[in-house]
Amino acid sequence: MTSHTMTGRAIQLIAAVGALLIGTSTFGNEHEDALLAAQEKMRATFSNAIVTDFRESPIPGIYEAHTVDKLIYYHPEKELLILGEIWTKDGRSLTAARRAELAAGLFDEIPTAHALVIGPENGKEIVEFTDPDCLYCRRYNAFAQEPGQIPIRRVVFFDTRAHPMAKPKAVHILCSRDQQQAFLDVYAGKEPARWNDCDQGRKQVAVHGVISQNAGVSVTPTLYVDRSPVLGFRRAVIEEALSSHGTSIAKKGD
């Protein structure tokens, strides 16, 4: 998988800020060119990284790259990735502050109106990027169905890139009269006598695929719990979130 390019909105904002700082457009163009050159170099050197945001860091010459669940730093001249945090002299982590900002921003861009929603309306809402043939997705599903478990309202997107049968299984679920029961059956490993198929289901799976890629999903399940991404089935993290009050998800992205 290849990395995502920086959004045009971010490029325009950076150029505008540069022009305001010195009052010329030339500087803004040079500034933008340097930023794009650094991003392209990182993409060529570290081609497996899925970058959802790329910009200057607080340290000149070093750039900040966001990879869904991690914030890393890149030095283009040395072609080095730097893992760690930038702290201020008064003990504040600039890295932690940016991580929270980026996670919330990425969450806000997920068009949840296109999701399959299952579970009780008053349940804890979690956005879920999932694959019907993913072992850890099935373990998370079993966890969500455990007796006595806090109810979860699951806002589901199918990411079907990893397994050949994932797409027809996702289409089957979305074409079923009872989508929730079909979902639970497929994730429990049950095979129907006939796999459902319909144009609307295929179209919705295709939309889910685009949304998954735009969200930088590289691992299933990827869960958004209280607006922050959790990669993989991390039971302790999810249990802690379920024990607290969560943020309600409004439908967006019609």
Q: Where in the chain is the domain with CATH 3.10.450.70?
A: 8-108
pLDDT of 22 = 42
Dist. CA 68–CA 102, nearest whole Å = 8
pLDDT of 68 = 67
Q: Where in the chain is the domain with CATH 3.40.30.10?
A: 112-242
Does domain 112-242 sit in CATH 3.40.30.10?
yes
Fold that domain 8-108 belongs to in CATH = Nuclear Transport Factor 2; Chain: A, (3.10.450)
In sequence order, which residues have a C-beta less than 8 Å from that of residue 15 and are 6 or more positions away? 25, 28, 29, 31, 32
- If one counts every other C-beta atom within 10 angstroms of the C-beta of residue 37, the result is 11
pLDDT of 28 = 57
pLDDT of 7 = 46
pLDDT of 3 = 39
User: Do the bridges between strand 152-158 and strand 222-225 make them parallel or antiparallel, or are there none, so unpaired?
Assistant: unpaired
pLDDT of 19 = 44
pLDDT of 243 = 82
Let me know how many helices (H) and strands (E) the chain has, helices first.
8, 9
pLDDT of 254 = 55
CA 91 to chain centre: 29
Per-10-residue mean pLDDT, the chain, length 254: 41 42 52 88 85 88 84 92 90 81 77 94 93 97 92 96 96 97 97 96 96 85 88 90 59 54
Query: In the Cβ-directed half-sphere of 57, how many Cα atoms lie within 13 Å?
Result: 26
